[in-house]
Amino acid sequence: MTNVFLGLGGNMGDRREMMRSAVAGIRRVLDDVAVSSLYESAAWGVTEQPAFLNAVARGRTSLEPVELLDAMQAIEHDLGRVRERHWGPRVIDIDILLYGSEVINEPRLQVPHPYMSQRGFVLRPLADLAAGLTLPDGSLVGELLTTVDQNDLRRIEGPGWADPSHD
């Protein structure tokens, strides 16, 4: 089994419900799932769009990396994701941030996620789950977090937000 970290985000529709539905889908694919607190952040890349909700999920899988990518894209599709514009608005986005300590550079999949070390909305929830984690390049998640802008990042809810019994 391989430990994986997934970044979740969305800024369309009922954002919180989409995030909860994505976590429910992830729990059907991964074992031992833990989820960070829920955060709101301004859009990154294409900034003229609604704010995003973001979180990170950690779990364990026996799937190969591309099989995991296919499973995450199937969850996105089932939740209504339509890929129209790069970095544009979306109901849900599930990115593979880390797949064990592997470095993967394939046309469909780059791991570690190529922009994760630049994004506070990824590093903050990742640090909730694993601040002491060493990335494949030797950097520490907690140290990277001190190098990114977090001014537009706001914690919305604690780690229990994605639990089915939580409301």
Catalytic residues: 81, 90, 93, 95
Which tokens go with 135? 């990335």
6: burial class by Cβ within 10 Å (0-12, 13-18, 19+)? buried
φ, ψ at 74 (rounded to 5°): -65, -40
Angle at 94 between CA 61 and CA 83, to 5 degrees: 135
Strand partners for 140: 134
Element (H, E) at 88: none
Q: What is the C-alpha to C-alpha distance for residues 22 and 110, in angstroms, rounded to an integer?
A: 21
Q: What is the C-alpha to C-alpha distance for residues 89 and 76, in angstroms, rounded to an integer?
A: 13
SS3 105: strand
